[in-house]
Amino acid sequence: MPSFFYGVFLDINNRSAVWGNFRVSGLDPLFTSAFLPTGFAARWSANRTTDSRLCYEILQRGYVIPQNAGYHDFIRPIQQVTERDRGGMIISPRIGDVHENVAELDYESQYPNLIIKEGLSFETVTPDGISETHKGILPAITKKALSRRLHFKGLRKNLAIESDDCRWAEQRQIALKFILVCIYGTLGSCWNRFGNVLTFEEINLKSRETMIETKNIAQSEGFQILYGDTNSIFVKSEGATEEVYMKLAALLTEKTRLPISLTHHYKFLLLLPLEADPSGIMEAQKHYFGKLTSGEILTRGIEVRRHDSHRFIKDFQLGLITTLFNHESAGAVKSKRYETAQDFVTHCLDDLMEGNIPLEDLVVSRILRRSLTSYKSIFPHVSAAIRLASQGKSIKPGDTIDFIHTDAKHHNPLRRVAPYDSPDGRIHEDRDKYREMILDAAETVLSTFGFSREVYGFQKKFNNWIDELWEERRRKMGMEASTEE
Contacts 24+ apart (CB under 8 A), 64-71: 65/193, 66/193, 66/194, 67/193, 68/193, 69/190, 69/193, 70/189, 70/190, 70/191, 70/192, 70/193, 70/194, 70/195, 70/196, 71/195, 71/196
Distance, in Å, from the CA atom of 13 to the CA atom of 11, rounded to the nearest integer, reads 5
Q: How many CB atoms are located within 10 Å of the residue 172 CB?
A: 25
Radius of gyration of the chain (CA): 27
**CATH homologous superfamily, domain 19-273:** B family DNA polymerase, palm domain (3.90.1600.10)
Fold of the 308-451 domain = Topoisomerase I; Chain A, domain 4 (1.10.132)
Task: Using pLDDT thresholds of 50, 70 and 90, give the confidence band for residue 250.
Answer: very high
| Portions of the chain given CATH number 3.90.1600.10 | 19-273
Instruction: From residue 425, give the alpha-carbon distance in Å to each of 19, 59, 396, 419.
Output: 38, 65, 24, 11
Tally the residues of the chain. Answer: 485
Average pLDDT of span 15-36: 67
Distance, in Å, from the CA atom of 265 to the CA atom of 388, rounded to the nearest integer, reads 47
Are 352 and 361 contacting, i.e. CB atoms less than 8 angstroms apart?
no
The pLDDT tens digits of the residues spanning 100-114 come to 999 999 999 999 999
Partners of 232 in the β-ladder: 106, 229
The pLDDT tens digits of the residues spanning 165-222 come to 888 888 888 888 888 988 888 887 777 888 888 899 999 999 999 999 999 999 999 9
| Portions of the chain given CATH number 1.10.132.60 | 308-451
Looking at residue 237, its amino acid is S
Pick 30 or 55 by higher pLDDT. Answer: 55
Looking at residue 230, its amino acid is T
The pLDDT tens digits of the residues spanning 421-451 come to 765 557 888 999 999 889 989 988 998 888 8
Instruction: From residue 144, give the alpha-carbon distance in Å to each of 66, 87, 113, 139, 177.
Output: 24, 25, 11, 9, 12
